[in-house]
Amino acid sequence: KHYDNEGGGDARKLTALYYMNPDWRSEHGGCFRAYDALDPAVYTDVEPRGDRFFCFWSDALIHAVMPCYADTAAAERYALTVWLYAASPAAIARDPAAEAAHFP
């Protein structure tokens, strides 16, 4: 699990994901797992269904991509990721409490 932007000089602020998986089924796995900021045991899984688009804050959402168990090449998990950058690295937020909860 990770942030898309873990600090330093990285100015990525917004992550946009578009899933291109027309033949995806739940048994294929590969869900995007978004964790609660302060409780690592609480999470929401987003299924990588074809034509699904969503965005999240690159510097705020702790997440993971779960293993994929596709049985054919057509069932693989395909995602297009685009990052939008802040004008300044100073715009990047840090949450010490979330970092302590998830990365002790």
Q: How far apart are CA 97 and CA 78, in angstroms?
A: 33
At 51-74, the pLDDT tens digits run 999 999 999 999 999 999 988 888
Neighbours of 101 (CB within 10 A): 17
| Residue 81 clears pLDDT 90, i.e. is over it | yes
**Residue 40 vs residue 88, higher pLDDT:** 40
The string of DSSP codes covering 53-85 is EEEEETTT--EEEPPB--SSGGGS--EEEEEEE
The β-bridge partners of 88 are none
What is the band of 23 on the pLDDT scale with cuts at 50, 70, 90?
A: confident
